[in-house]
Chains A and B, each alone.
Chain A
């Protein structure tokens, strides 16, 4: 078995993956509503098995940058993290990490070691104000 997954699960920090889903289309724009499954440990029920995943992550580094828009300065905070390779996470899902929401900007193919799935890199951008 790959060494990466037990390492992440033992020393990583708790993170909740909020799976993105598309809802009903808007009558005017014809664009679908976007919803995210929210893990609720205080009211844990069967829904929480399907809408969100509690797992561990090891954060690699942080990068911040600022951009001035006409409406004000916006901060872009990016993190790169390592998740267990067998966790399902997709582009534009969200991660709740220390009560801060991040959007999954991109994911990389899980890496394989001796035929076992090891870890996967996710690149995150902060959504929360």
Chain B
């Protein structure tokens, strides 16, 4: 039986290895929140009451099984969405943290973080490999805000789910 939820593995690994993300000036530290998706906090609360600059959410996967040839054990490929959300801050005047600029900074750091946890330790249960399979960025004008989102799809492959 799997002993660790892959979502916990991904969340713990990335949040621990992401490193510092800087604001537009390259010096000030951006405030980054890692959370499981579908939490109870409202969007504007996180960005303007809690004052986070970037919110990284870890969602539920889409999975499929794969058996390359007969008698080879079944593998499961689980696609986990990790979404990076940013907004322009402050709400007026000279921007100190441009939502669009934050996206690649986090993408770059995220790829390095995933590489650092790309495979499980020897004899670990479950054994897994992890890789960033794709990134998809969108922009929305919602609720008076400019919202930038990038969904990074991480493929978690394991032999026992």
Q: Spot the interface stretch: B8-16, B44-52, B62-70, B117-125.
A: B44-52
Asked if A33 contacts B93 (CB within 8 A), the reply is yes
State A90–B83 Cα separation when bound (angstroms): 35
B92 to A72, Cβ gap below 8 A?
no
Residues A75 and B143 in contact, CB atoms below 8 Å apart: yes
Is residue A76 contacting chain B, with contact meaning CB distance below 8 A? yes
* Residue ID in chain B nearest A67 by CB atoms: B142
Interface residue? A62 (CB, 8 A) = no
Pairs across A and B, CB under 8 Å, 20 listed: A23-B93, A33-B93, A33-B94, A34-B93, A69-B85, A69-B140, A69-B142, A70-B59, A70-B149, A71-B55, A71-B85, A72-B45, A74-B42, A74-B43, A76-B143, A77-B143, A103-B144, A125-B144, A127-B143, A129-B45
> 8 closest A-B pairs (Cβ-Cβ)?
A127-B144, A71-B85, A70-B83, A72-B43, A129-B44, A74-B43, A71-B55, A129-B48
Q: A70-B81, A71-B147, A75-B143 are in contact. List 12 more A-B contacts (CB 8 A).
A: A23-B94, A24-B94, A26-B94, A28-B24, A33-B93, A34-B93, A70-B57, A71-B46, A72-B43, A74-B145, A76-B143, A125-B143
